[in-house]
């Protein structure tokens, strides 16, 4: 694991924590699920490019999907 992957993991996990807390408090499923996935997926993705791409997509997804 490189320093870049570690810092991206911390960044996306903190964004995920914010989404998770928001989704839990407001009872909205999309931010809740995106938050959980953002907190968990950095443990399983080893490629820095894929880590960045998946993290950006999951971070933007709650703005466009309103359920």
Greatest Cα pair distance, the chain, in angstroms, is 37
Percent of the chain with pLDDT over 70: 99
pLDDT of the residue at 67: 72
Give every residue of the chain whose pLDDT is below 50, as ranges. Answer: none
**Nearest of 53, 60, 23, 20 to residue 37 by alpha carbon:** 20
**Helix and strand counts by DSSP (H, E) for the chain:** 3, 0
Confidence (pTM): 0.89
User: How many domains is the chain built from?
Assistant: 1
pLDDT of the residue at 66: 79
Query: Domain span at residue 58?
Result: 3-64
How big is the CA angle at 67 (ends 12 and 22), to the nearest 5 degrees?
Answer: 45
């Amino acid at each position: 694991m490189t320093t870049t992957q570690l810092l991206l993991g911390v960044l996306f996990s903190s964004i995920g924590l914010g989404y998770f807390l928001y989704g839990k408090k407001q009872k909205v499923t999309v931010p809740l699920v995106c938050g959980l996935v953002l907190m968990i997926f950095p443990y399983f993705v080893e490629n820095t490019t894929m880590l960045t791409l998946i993290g950006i997509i999951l971070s933007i997804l709650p703005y466009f999907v309103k359920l």
